[in-house]
Structure 1
Amino acid sequence: MTTRSVIMGLSALLVLSGCGAQVEGAAPSTGGGEVSVENCGAPLTVPGRPDRVVTNDTGITEIMFALGLSDRMAGYTTYAGKERDIESSPWRADFERTTSLGDGFTREVIQSADPDFVFAGWNYGFKESTGVTPEWIRGLGATPYQLTEACRQPGSAERGIMPPLDALYADLTNIGDIFGVRDRADALVTDYRVTVTKANATAPAANRRSRVFLFDSADPNPFTAGRYAAPEQIISEAGGTNIFGDLADSWASTSWEAAAQRDPQVILIVDYGAGPENTVEAKIRQLRAHPLMSQTDAVRHGRFLALPYAALVEGPRNPAAITTVARYLRSVGF
């Protein structure tokens, strides 16, 4: 089997096995009083049930869709190249009937949508450099909700305050409470836990687990996933070991020297099409041409697996991604 056929076949499997694409139950009511939850370690009070929600990024938007809340959406923003995320999404129909606000999560775009609730995260839309911060959202009279995977650690710009799957479950539960669909959230979390348990059941013993490198991009140093990013548990629950699981951050830059020294046996590639240099094929060529990475076990044996961006950031595709990675690892002997 060629490298490309492995990549494309398993990416298709992920799309077909997307968990939670259908949500049963009655539509949420239009009422609802004040609700308080904990978000990024702090209390967050929402004065009423929001009905004009703006989200940034595909994974965050899919959390809303997985909970059956597309009718509460005023619009979503994405980044250039995320069209393939939408094409592969189990919630593609929801994307098609929801207003796209374009590629820029800017003050002007947000204001024009007149939101009462804005769901984003640090470096998933919220940035001091653009002036789009939770404080600025509050100034609009809207409630800011922060993606838990991207919560900043106290006194630091580093992100991540809990294991990645716990972050996903916390956001599903909180959004469920805020929008009066907690039963849907609980059903999804239960379903996801079952999916993860089944995938993990085939995992090898700790001393036989494969070393996996998550390769997002390089500019010029590689960008990868640390302890608090979704790929950490996607890899570990599938039966592998994230070679940068010791980084106390979510997504972070490292060095080619460090990546090569840890000699990955499998490389998990983030598939997004933001320019020709970010295609899966271009990233594989880059790894094969690199004098250090070309000598690693993964590159020498052509063990590459590419999954969509939305499967590898916090979102409802994460459990299906675990199943896909587990099947791939078993297929190559790990």
Structure 2
Amino acid sequence: MRISRLRGPLRTPAAVAAALALALTVAGCGADVSDGDQGKDNKGGKEGKQASAGDGYPVTLTNCGAQVTYDKAPERVVTNDVGITEIMFALGLEDRMAGYVMPDDKGDLDAVPYKAAYEKVRWLSKSDINRELVLDAKADLVFAGWNYGFRESEGFTPAALDKLGVDTYLLTESCRNGRGKARGVMSPLDALYTDLRNLGKLFHVEDRAEKLVADYQRRIAAVQARAPKEQPRVFLYDDGRDKPLTSGEFAGPHDIITKAGGDHVMKDLKDSWVTVGWETVVDRDPEVIVINDYGDTSAAQKKKFLLDYPPLAGVSAIKNKRIFTLDYVDLVESPRNAAAIEALGAYLRGVQRD
């Protein structure tokens, strides 16, 4: 079961219509799921059934370094992209959603996590999220992020929506860090926990949020306790032939790799999703390559390219054919991160050093 991907991490134009999997079982792992824009105050929304009238509002949150105030609990949230949508579902907030934006090609829904929520919530668009769609949905809050829906190039920003009377919440993984448009202000898992707790506070489901965080932390700690003593060097391959797109310190794969017991070879890059040169990959000699399975290019095609690409012939991961696949939704901020760590951890424990 697969779903096409809209816009998440920085992509080449050819990858805009990329696909990402929503299946519980992913190739190679079988993981289970048990600016001014940032500095404004958001106000608005309506109360929902998790909160009594006038109880606990307004709520002020810290979102991407800004103090953001909501007068009431939103009732018509529009989300963009799969990880963001599933954060709402994990918190049991599908009743507060007007819909989600996600491209086509969902495939068989039987194995999808949050299957009932996906069937209940309206699928608003298979294309880019935009102002017209938000207004048509009568949204009172848009949950998206920089390069996860929000983009200056088309004037779809939190500031633009604020002028239309629509509140916003920015995905913490996407927060800009003060270096141009570089993204990342905290570790990826801390970003997930921050968003769960913030949304828990906003919708008065704090206990549910804390239970999720505690469960993820417990499961991840169990993986770390079994991590190999000598950490295999791991490189995340997203896509790209001339130059590979990969993860820096502030994108999801960094924590997924390191908590699983690997040494993330691009951990020194202070950004989220970044492009590097192949010579850098060769120089750092990863012992394992993790493929991000999404897009028009299949994981099998990506694997074949890596194995056949002459400059990589001397890299340890290529010589030993140690290539592991995770889905896009596992690797961006989402409720599936813990399962991805469990799956990759099991794989890394089986890696024998040269």
**What is the TM-score when the length of structure 2 is the normalising length?**
0.84
Alignment size in residue pairs: 312
Instruction: Report the counterpart of residue 169 of structure 1 in structure 2.
Output: 193
Matched residue type, 2:127 = D
Deviation at 1:134, TM superposition (A): 0.7
- 1:119 is aligned, of 143, 164, 171, to 143
- 1:322 is aligned, of 338, 341, 348, to 341
- Please tell me the root mean square deviation across aligned C-alpha atoms, in Å: 1.9
Equivalent residue of 2:73, what SS?
coil
Distance in 1 (alpha carbons) for counterparts of 2:322 and 2:313: 12
Instruction: Report the counterpart of residue 280 of structure 2 in structure 1.
Output: 258
Deviation track 1:201-226 (CA, whole Å, cap 9, x = no partner) reads 01123xx1101111111163211110
Equivalent residue of 2:181, what SS?
coil
Equivalent residue of 1:145, what SS?
strand
Alignment of 1:291-310 (within 5 A): 291-310=310-329
Contact 2:27–2:325 (CA<8 Å) still a contact in 1? no
> Is the counterpart of residue 39 in structure 1 residue 56 in structure 2?
no
Distance in 1 (alpha carbons) for counterparts of 2:250 and 2:103: 22
Instruction: Report the counterpart of residue 3 of structure 1 in structure 2.
Output: none
C-alpha change, 1:155 and 1:222, in structure 2 (3 Å) is closer
Deviation at 1:302, TM superposition (A): 1.4
Contact 2:26–2:327 (CA<8 Å) still a contact in 1? no
Contact 1:238–1:326 (CA<8 Å) still a contact in 2? yes
Contact 1:231–1:312 (CA<8 Å) still a contact in 2? yes
- 1:178 is aligned, of 202, 220, 223, to 202
Which runs of 5 or more structure 2 residues have no equivalent in the other structure?
1-24, 35-48
Deviation track 1:284-325 (CA, whole Å, cap 9, x = no partner) reads 111122111232111121111111111100011111111111
C-alpha change, 1:50 and 1:8, in structure 2 (3 Å) is closer
> Is the counterpart of residue 196 in structure 1 residue 220 in structure 2?
yes
Deviation track 1:30-80 (CA, whole Å, cap 9, x = no partner) reads 645211010001101111000100011100000000000011111111245
Instruction: Report the counterpart of residue 239 of structure 2 in structure 1.
Output: 217
**What is the TM-score when the length of structure 1 is the normalising length?**
0.88
> Is the counterpart of residue 231 in structure 1 residue 253 in structure 2?
yes
Contact 1:30–1:49 (CA<8 Å) still a contact in 2? no
Alignment of 1:1-334 (within 5 A): 10-11=28-29, 13-14=30-31, 17-19=32-34, 28-29=50-51, 31=53, 32=55, 33-79=57-103, 83=106, 89-101=112-124, 102-205=126-229, 208-218=230-240, 220-272=242-294, 274-275=295-296, 278-333=297-352
Distance in 2 (alpha carbons) for counterparts of 1:161 and 1:84: 35
Distance in 2 (alpha carbons) for counterparts of 1:256 and 1:34: 50
The answer to which of 190-199 and 153-162 deviates more is: 153-162
Q: Which runs of 4+ in 1 moved over 3 A?
A: 7-11, 29-32, 84-89
Equivalent residue of 2:219, what SS?
helix
Percent identity over paired residues = 44
Distance in 2 (alpha carbons) for counterparts of 1:129 and 1:326: 39
Contact 2:252–2:331 (CA<8 Å) still a contact in 1? yes
Matched residue type, 2:320 = H
Which structure has the highest helix share of the two? 1
